[in-house]
Each structure stands twice: as structure tokens, then as C-alpha cells.
């Protein structure tokens, strides 16, 4: 089983969920919860001032994380 669980879903009421703008640059933030009960916050620049590009990059990052976790689960199972 994967040591990290992805539990977040995009919120249709808030298209900017997990992203915020800081001085003209969009950033992404999320928390992972590990199997040992600890958690870790992840924050990083999306390297754009355009909200549409920021949302696309956030979506791609979350898709890649989900794909990675699914591959890890497939190997373990």
C-alpha cells in the first residue's frame, strides 16, 4: 500500500482551491497525510502570473501525483 494518500478533490465552487497569488505569481499548496500519522505541507511556485495557466499546472500536478500513487499501488498489489 502507498505510504501517502491523496484525499483532496477539486472544488467546483472554488476553482482556485489549492492555489493563491503572491506578488503576481501563483503558488500551489497541499498537505499529504502519511501512513505513520504524520503530515507534510507542500508549497511551490507555479511560475506564472496567469490564473488559467496556474489552474492547468495545478491540475497536471495533481493528476501526476494520482498516477504515481496508482502505479505504486499496482506494484504492491
Per-residue pLDDT tens over the stretch 15-67 = 999 999 999 999 999 988 888 999 889 999 999 999 999 999 999 999 998 88
Q: Where are the domains of the chain?
A: 15-76
User: Which pTM value belongs to this model?
Assistant: 0.80
Buried b (16+ CB within 10 A) or exposed e, 30-47: bebeeeeeeeeeeeeebe
Cβ contacts of residue 30 below 8 Å, gap of 6+?
8, 18, 41, 42, 62
Amino acid at each position: 500500500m502507498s505510504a501517502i494518500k491523496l484525499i483532496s478533490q477539486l472544488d467546483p465552487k472554488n476553482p482556485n482551491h489549492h492555489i493563491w497569488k503572491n506578488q503576481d505569481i501563483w503558488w500551489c499548496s497541499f498537505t499529504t497525510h502519511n501512513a505513520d500519522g504524520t503530515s507534510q505541507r507542500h508549497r511551490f511556485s507555479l511560475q506564472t502570473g496567469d490564473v488559467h495557466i496556474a489552474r492547468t499546472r495545478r491540475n497536471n500536478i495533481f493528476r501526476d501525483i494520482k498516477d504515481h500513487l496508482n502505479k505504486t499501488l499496482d506494484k504492491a498489489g
